[in-house]
Amino acid sequence: MALLNRLRRRGSAPLGWLLGALCSVGFLACGTQGSGEPLANTWPRTALRSFVLRDAEQPYALLRLGWDLDQPAVAPRLDDPAVPLMVWGRMNPRQEAEHGVLFRAAVTDLGAAAPPELALAPVAAWEGTDLSSPTFLPGEGDRPPLLFYQGGDGSVGLARLAADGQVQRLTTAAPLLPAAALGVGRIGRLSVLSVGSAVRLYYLVADQHAHFVQLDAEALTRRAAADSGALDFQVSAPLLWAADFLVKQTAVVMVPAERLAGLWVRRVTTPAGRDRFDLYAVASAMTKSVVVSASSYSGGTIGSTSERFLPVESPALASASEGTPSSPAMIIYKDQPLMLLGLHTVQTGIAVAVPPS
Amino acid sequence: MRKTLPALSVAALCLLAASARASLPELTSLGTRSPALAGTGVADSTGYEATYQNPAGLATGKRNLTLGLVYGGYQTTIDDAPYPIENTLGLIIGGALPLPLGGVMKDRLGLGLGLYLPTGFINRVRVPFPDVPRASLLDSRTQIVSILFGGGLRLPWGLQVGGGVLALAALVGEINIQQDGSGRLIAASEQQLTVNYSPILGARWQTPGGRVAVGAVFRGVSESSYRITVHTRLGDALPLMLPVIYFSGIAQYDPLQVAAEVSVRASRRLVLTAQASYKRWSAFAYPIDKSTDGSLPLPVPHFHDTVVPRVALEWQPADLHAVEILLRVGYFFEWSPTPNPPPDDLSRNLLDSDRHVLTAGIGLRLLGRLPLSLSAFGQGHLLAPSARFNGGFGMMGVAVGLDL
Amino acid sequence: MRRRTVERSPAPGRGGLASPAGLLLLGGLLLLGDRRAARANPLDAFGWGARAPALGSAYAAIADDSAAGYYNPAGLARGTDLRIDVGYQAARPLIDVSGQRQALKDARGLAAGIVLPGQILGVRFAFGATLFLPDQYVTRVHVLSFDAPRLQLYDNRTQRFFLGANLAIRIYRGLYLGGGLAFLSRSAGTVELRGQIALSDPNASTLQSAVSVDLLAIRYPQFGLLWEATSNLTLALVYRHSFRLDLSQGFTINADVGDPGQTPVAKEARLAEISNSVDLFQPWQLVAAAAARFGRVLISFDLTFARWSEQPPPASNFHLDLDIGQLGDLVKLPAARAYPDSGFHDLLIPAVGVEWRAIPSAARDRLALDVRGGYRYEASPVPEQLSESSFGDADKHIISGGLGLELRKLGRVLPRPLSIDGFAAVTVLPERTFRKLDPRSAVGDFTIAGLVWQAGGQVRWRF
C-alpha cells in the first residue's frame, strides 16, 4: 500500500510505459493456430453394446491344449494391482463334454496368464460326473466369500472360499438347491448377486427363459457357517425370453433367437445412486450365435409376473471374428469394464473383449 | 532514450498488428485511388489504401472513415464459347487512425483498417473437374473477404516503415456419415477454421521537399486452404463401401510479391508514378488434391514467375475554393504466369492470358465545413489475344470518405 | 434402374438528431444496424475484457470502452477519447461427468478493440470495433448425432471468434443509442465426384472431384440504449438477436461400381448425400441494466432474459438419394424418424458488480486503483434428459474479482491515462444428476459437476 501511495504521488512513467507496452505486445503475440485435431471422447458409457475382441488375430487369454475352457468368472479379491486376477471357469477334456471340472488361473496381465489348474472336481454323489458354472458372491460382514456351482443335473452347490484360494465344500451331502426346484427343463449357467438383504441366483431354464431364485442373505450366512438348517427360497417368474432377441442371419435378415445360453447378470450402481441390472447371454438361431445384453432397474421381482429385462437391439459383442461365443462375464478391470467369454474356434478358450475406443 | 524506448515498443506492437491481403486487392488494388492509378501507391498512398499498398504510408495522414462499393463485369470466352464468370460486387470499408501521441512521437505512428466484403459471402470455391478448362486466375478470384490491418511508423530523414501479417482462413476437419444409436443416418462433423499468417513489410523514403518518393513492399505468399475428410460408415445399410474421400485443396492463392515504385511530383499539380512488381507464380500448386487414396496424381501447373510494370499520373486541373479535384489515369501490363506453349497434361486446362489494363478515376474533396471526399475509378482489362481464352472485363468503384 | 430416396430426420451538444448531420448519422446507424451484431457465445459465457468480467459482466449500464461493442453499443459514444484496448483472456473448464474429467478445449484468445469518437455538425458519435480471436482456431464446428452425449454449453458453444463493428450517437445530453454489426460464417456447398468405386477394396477407388462451396457471411443485430438519468444513476436496455449456424454440405458421386479391370456391377451409379445441421445456437436476449454511484463505490446490476426455448435439435438432417442399379435390392436403410424438441427453458440471468476506487485520483496524483468484484447466476436451460438425448449442463455461479490500475502523467508522448486491468473468476457448477427412463441407454444415468477457471488482463490506451 505504501508503494502504491508513493507511486500515486511521484508516479513512474517508465514503469507505466513498460507495463503497458509489455502487456500489449504480450497479448498481441498470441496467434490463432490450430491443427484441427478433434478431442478424445471420454464420456462414460454403459457397458451394454459394441464390445470388440481385444485382439482379433489372437483373442485368447486362457487356453489349455487338449481341453475346452468356458464359463469364466472372477474370484473376489482385494483391489490391489499386485494381486493377480484369479479367473475361474469350467474345463473338460476335448471330446468329453460331460466330464467337466472347475479350474482357476492367475492372470497378472491379460496377455500372460498362468496355465489353468484344477480347482474343484466332482466328488459328492449329487454332483455326478460333471461340475460347471462357477460364480462368486463376495464376502460381506460375517459371511465369507462363497462359491456357487452346478452339478451334472444343474443342481446348485455351495463352497466357501478361503483367503488362500482353497475351497471348502458346504454341500457334500445334498445340493443347496435341487434342479427340480428351479424349473422344468435344463438349468443353465448360474450368476449370483447380492441385492440388499437378499441373494439372487440368475439362470436360464430350457435355454428359453431367464429366472432368478432369491435367498435370504442372513440365512445364507448361517448356512455358510455350516449350519445345516433348511434354506427358504423363492423363484421368480420369467424375466426374459430367447425370442426377445434378434439374431442376424444375413446382411438383411434378422430372426428371433431360438436359444439362450451362458447367462450372466451384474448389478451396477449408477451415478444417480440407483441400481441397474445388466444381463448378458448368448442368443442363437440356426447356426448363428451372438452375445446379447439386456437391462433392468429392478432386476426382476418375485411374483406371478415379474418386471422384465429389456433387450438391447445391438449386440453386446460387435463381432466374434471367426469363432462362436459362449458364456460372457463382465468384470471391472483397472477401472474399465472388460468382457471375458468362451470362444470356440478349433478349441474353446477364454477370450477377452474390450469396450469400443 | 527513455521516451524513445516506449515508442519503439508501441511501434513493435503495430508491426505485429495483423495485416491481410487477398484477391480483389491483388487483381485491382484496394480502394478507389490506387485502382484508378493502375494499382500504384507503394511510394505515396496514405489512409486505408496503404494497408494494402504499403503499410509505411499509415504513419501519416488524417483520421478517416470510408465506405465504398466495387463492381466488376466479365465477358470472356474459352474455345470461342462464352465463359461466364460471376460478377464482382462488394463493399469497401476503410479507416485510418494516426495516433495522437505527443512529444517525440507526435505525428509518427498510425494504424489502418481496410475491408473488402463480397456481398453475402466470405469465400467462394469453384473448382471444376480437371478436364474442364477454366479461367484459373480469374474465376471466383474476387469472391473472398479481405481483412487488412496495418501500422506505420515515421522515422527521421524522410523514412517511413510499416508492416504486419497477412491472415487467411484455412478449413480442416472431418465428416462421419454413420448411424446413430437409434438407427438414424447422420453426418457428424468436427471442423475447425484456422488461420494462416504470412508477413507484409514495407518502407518508403521521400526527399525533403516531397518532390520524389520511392517505396518498396514485400508481401508473403497467402493462401486459403481446406481439407475435409469424409468417412462413410453405413455398415450393412449399403451393399458397397465408400472409400475415404478427401475434399482438399487451395481455395485462394496470392503469390509472393516484391514491388518497387517511384513517384515524382513533376509540377505542383502533376504526379507521375512508375512501379515494377515481381510475382512468384512458380510456386503455384494445382488447386485441388486427390479425392481418394487410389486416384491418379494431379498435374503440376508449371506456372512461371512474372513482372508487372505499372505507370500512372494524377493531375489537379485547377485550384478551386470549395473543392479539390484530382484526375487519375494509369496503365499496367499483367503478364500471365501460365506456360506457353501449354503443357500436354491436364494442367493445360488452367487458362489465363496476358492483360492490358487501362485505368482512370476522379477524386473530389470538399474543403469546407463538411470534410467529405468522393472518389471513383474504372478499369478496363483486355485479355491479349490467345488460342483459347479471350475477352475482357471491367471493374468500377465509388467511395465516400469522412475525415474525423 | 432402381432408385431410392431417403429423407432423414438439423453533448447533448449543438445540432442533435434534427440536424442534417444527425440524420446522416442516424441513417448510418440504421444502415449499420441492419447489418447486425451478435453477442458471441464465448462472450456470453466468459465476458469480454478485464473490467467487465471482474464485475460479473454486469456492464450494460456502465460500458464506455470497446467492451461496449459487446455489452451495450450505446456506451461507445459516452467518452470523447480515442481508446484502444488490447487484452488476453483465458477460461479453462474442468468439468466431470460421473466423476470422469472431460476433454474440453480452453476458451482463450486475444480481446482487442478500438473506439473512435467524432463529431459531425455538432452531433457526437463513435465508431467501435470489438474482437475476440481464439488462440487455436477462428471457429470450431462440432456436429454430433442427436444421441451423442455432450456438455451442451461448453462443448463447442464457446469456440468461435467475435468481430463486431458498432456505431453509437448521443441523441441528447445523457441519452445514447447504439447499434452493431458482427460477422460469422457458415459453409454451404457440394462436391461432385466421378470415376469408379471399387467393390472389393474401397481404397482402390479412383475418383475425381469438382468443388463448389461457399463460406457465407452471417449478420445479426444488436441495439442498445443508455440513459444517464442523473449524475449518479444510469439505466440501459440492450437487445441481442438470436443466431444459429446453419451448415449445408453434401456430395454427389457418379461412378461405375466394380473392381478395376472388371466389368462394372453397376454402371453410372449415383449417390447423392446432403446434410443440413445446426451448430453454435445462441438465443435472443434482452438486458435491462442499472448502475448507481455512491461516492467512491459503483454498483451495477444486469438482468438478462435469454430465449433458450428456441434451441433447435442440435443434430443433422440427412438426405440420401441412391441409384445403384441391381445392387439397389440390397439397400437396407433405416426408416426416417424426426428429432424430438430439445425442450430448453428460457432464462433470467441476474448479475451484480461492485467497483470501489480504493486509491482515488486527485489532480496531481499519478495513479488510481479500483478494486472490483462481481457475481452472476445462470441457471441451466437444459431440461431433464430422460430419453434419447444426453445434453449435460448444470446451474452456474460465477464469482469474480479484479483490479484496475490507472497510470497518469506518463510524459508528453502519452498525455492521457493508461489503464491496466486484471481479473480472475471461477464458475461453479454444482452437481446435477440426470436419470434415464430406459435402463438400456448407451449413456445411462450421469452427473455433471465442475469448475471453470478464468483470468485475463487488458491494457487501455487513451488518446
pLDDT band at A14 (very low <50, low <70, confident <90, very high): low
**Cα nearest neighbour of C197 on chain B:** B242
pLDDT band at B18 (very low <50, low <70, confident <90, very high): very low
| Chain B residues within an 8 Å CB radius of C118 | 63, 404
Touching B (3+ Cβ pairs <8 A), the chains are A, C
DSSP string, A260-290: EEEEEEEEEE-TTS-EEEEEEEEEEETTEEE
> Any idea what DSSP says for residue C388?
S
**pLDDT the model gives residue C423:** 97
* Rounded Cα distance, B348 and B339, in Å: 9
Question: What SS3 string covers C56-120?
Answer: CCCCCCCCCCCCHHHHCHHHHHHCCCCEEEEEEEEEEEEEEECCEECCCCCEEEEEEEEEEEEEE
Which residues between 261 and 320 in chain A have a beta carbon less than 8 angstroms from any beta carbon of chain B?
Answer: 314
Considering only the beta carbons, identify the residue of C109, C138, C369 that sits closest to A4: C369
**pLDDT the model gives residue C136:** 74
- The whole-angstrom distance between A232's CA and the closest CA on chain C is 31
Tell whether the model's pLDDT for residue A285 goes beyond 90.
yes
Q: Which helix (H) or strand (E) holds C377?
A: strand C367-378
**pLDDT the model gives residue A130:** 93
Through-space distance between the first and last CA atoms of chain B, rounded to whole angstroms: 33
pLDDT band at A12 (very low <50, low <70, confident <90, very high): low
| Cut 0.80: pTM above it | yes
Higher pLDDT, B159 or C209: B159
Q: Do C97 and A46 touch (CB under 8 A)?
A: no
Cα–chain center distance at B247: 25
Structural domain that includes position B237: 4-403
Average pLDDT of every residue of chain B: 84
* Under 8 Å between Cβ of C395 and C380: yes
- The whole-angstrom distance between C214's CA and the closest CA on chain A is 20
**pLDDT the model gives residue B10:** 22
Considering only the beta carbons, identify the residue of A16, A32, A39 that sits closest to C138: A32
Tell whether the model's pLDDT for residue B181 goes beyond 70.
no
- Count the domains in chain B: 1
C69 conformational bin, left if phi > 0, alpha if psi -120 to 50, beta if neither: alpha
Domains and CATH numbers, chain C: 12-178+222-245+279-318+327-462 (2.40.160.60)
Q: Do C440 and A5 touch (CB under 8 A)?
A: no
Domains and CATH numbers, chain A: 51-354 (2.115.10.20)
Q: Do C444 and A271 touch (CB under 8 A)?
A: yes
State yes or no: ipTM above 0.85: yes
CB pairs under 8 A between A and C: 153
Considering only the beta carbons, identify the residue of A27, A48, A49 that sits closest to C87: A27
Q: Is B192 on the interface with C (CB under 8 A)?
A: yes
Q: Do B236 and A251 touch (CB under 8 A)?
A: yes
- The whole-angstrom distance between A332's CA and the closest CA on chain B is 24
Tell whether the model's pLDDT for residue C316 goes beyond 90.
no
**pLDDT the model gives residue A20:** 67
- The whole-angstrom distance between B125's CA and the closest CA on chain C is 5
Q: What is the pLDDT of residues C271-290, one digit of tens each?
A: 888 877 777 788 899 999 99
Q: Identify the sign of the CA torsion A187, A193, A196, A197.
A: positive
Q: Any idea which of B15-29, B140-154, B329-343, C407-421 has the lowest mean pLDDT?
A: B15-29
Beta bridge mates, A235 = A213
**pLDDT the model gives residue C10:** 31
Tell whether the model's pLDDT for residue A78 goes beyond 60.
no
Q: Do B6 and A17 touch (CB under 8 A)?
A: yes
Sequence-distant (6+) residues with CB within 8 A of B221 are B198, B253, B254, B255, B256, B280, B283
Q: Any idea which of A114-118, A211-215, A266-270, C397-401 has the lowest mean pLDDT?
A: A114-118
* Rounded Cα distance, B171 and B141, in Å: 18
Q: Do B6 and A14 touch (CB under 8 A)?
A: yes
Q: Do C439 and A41 touch (CB under 8 A)?
A: no
Q: Do A33 and B194 touch (CB under 8 A)?
A: yes
Q: Do A22 and B9 touch (CB under 8 A)?
A: yes
Considering only the beta carbons, identify the residue of C139, C143, C205 that sits closest to B193: C139
Considering only the beta carbons, identify the residue of A25, A31, A252 that sits closest to B13: A25
| Chain B residues within an 8 Å CB radius of C388 | 181-182
Q: Is A26 on the interface with B (CB under 8 A)?
A: no
Q: Do A13 and C434 touch (CB under 8 A)?
A: no
What mean pLDDT do residues C2-15 have? 35
Residue in A23, A24, A39 to test binding to B, most B beta-carbons within 10 Å: A24
Q: Is A250 on the interface with B (CB under 8 A)?
A: no
Q: Do A251 and B172 touch (CB under 8 A)?
A: no
Sequence-distant (6+) residues with CB within 8 A of A228 are none
Residue in C208, C245, C438 to test binding to B, most B beta-carbons within 10 Å: C208
Please name the amino acid found at residue A31.
G
Higher pLDDT, A64 or C324: A64
What mean pLDDT do residues A6-10 have? 57
* Rounded Cα distance, C288 and C298, in Å: 17
* Rounded Cα distance, B87 and A154, in Å: 84
Tell whether the model's pLDDT for residue B189 goes beyond 90.
no
Q: Any idea which of A52-56, A163-167, B5-9, B52-56 has the lowest mean pLDDT?
A: B5-9
pLDDT band at B17 (very low <50, low <70, confident <90, very high): very low
Residue in A32, A246, A252 to test binding to B, most B beta-carbons within 10 Å: A32
CA angle B112, B115, B121 (to 5 degrees): 165
**pLDDT the model gives residue B105:** 82
| Chain C residues within an 8 Å CB radius of A311 | 440
Q: Which three cell numbers stand for residue B278?
A: 515481381
Q: Which of B58, B321, B67 is nearest to B202 (CA)?
A: B58
Beta bridge mates, B392 = B75, B382
Q: Any idea which of A9-23, A36-50, C49-63 has the lowest mean pLDDT?
A: A9-23
Q: What is the pLDDT of residues B349-372, one digit of tens each?
A: 888 999 999 999 999 998 877 789
Considering only the beta carbons, identify the residue of B123, B177, B237 that sits closest to C273: B177
**Cα nearest neighbour of B290 on chain C:** C208
- The whole-angstrom distance between B230's CA and the closest CA on chain A is 14
Q: Do C331 and B239 touch (CB under 8 A)?
A: yes
Q: Is-cis flag, bond preceding A115, omega within 30?
A: no
Tell whether the model's pLDDT for residue A21 goes beyond 80.
no
Q: Which three cell numbers stand for residue B161?
A: 516503415
SS3 label, residue C156: coil
- The whole-angstrom distance between C331's CA and the closest CA on chain A is 9
Q: Which three cell numbers stand for residue A110?
A: 491379460
Q: Which three cell numbers stand for residue A240?
A: 426374459
Question: What SS3 string covers B250-286?
Answer: EEEEECEEEEEEEEEEEECCEEEEEEEEEEEHHHCCC
Q: Do A23 and C365 touch (CB under 8 A)?
A: no
Alpha-carbon distances of A32 from A38, B191, C107, rounded to whole Å: 16, 15, 12
Most confident of A293-307, B331-345, B376-390, C39-53: B376-390
**pLDDT the model gives residue A28:** 61
Q: Is B270 on the interface with C (CB under 8 A)?
A: no
* Rounded Cα distance, B397 and B390, in Å: 24
What CATH number is attached to the domain comprising B190?
2.40.160.60
Q: Identify the sign of the CA torsion A95, A98, A103, A107.
A: positive
What mean pLDDT do residues A149-168 have? 89
Q: Any idea which of A194-203, B155-164, C407-416 has the lowest mean pLDDT?
A: C407-416
Look up cell 451478435; give the residue: C38
% of chain A with per-residue pLDDT over 90: 52
Which residues between 64 and 123 in chain B have a beta carbon less than 8 angstroms from any beta carbon of chain C?
Answer: 65, 93, 95, 97, 99-105, 113, 117, 120-123
**pLDDT the model gives residue C26:** 34
**Cα nearest neighbour of C462 on chain A:** A20
Q: What is the pLDDT of residues C341-378, one digit of tens each?
A: 889 999 999 999 999 999 887 666 788 999 999 999 99
Query: Could you tell me where the DSSP H helices lie in chain A?
Result: 2-10, 13-28, 179-182, 217-224
Cα–chain center distance at C274: 27
Tell whether the model's pLDDT for residue C206 goes beyond 90.
no
**pLDDT the model gives residue B359:** 97
Compute chain C's Rg from CA coordinates: 26
Q: What is the pLDDT of residues C20-63, one digit of tens each?
A: 333 333 333 333 322 232 233 688 888 999 999 999 999 999 99
Sequence-distant (6+) residues with CB within 8 A of C115 are C65, C66, C68, C69, C76, C79, C81, C82, C83, C84, C126, C127, C128
**pLDDT the model gives residue C328:** 75
What mean pLDDT do residues C110-130 have? 88
Q: Half-sphere exposure (CA, 13 Å, Cβ side) for C387?
A: 8
The values of phi and psi at residue A250, to 5°, are -135, -175
- The whole-angstrom distance between A58's CA and the closest CA on chain B is 24
Q: Do B172 and A36 touch (CB under 8 A)?
A: yes
| Chain B residues within an 8 Å CB radius of A38 | 174, 190
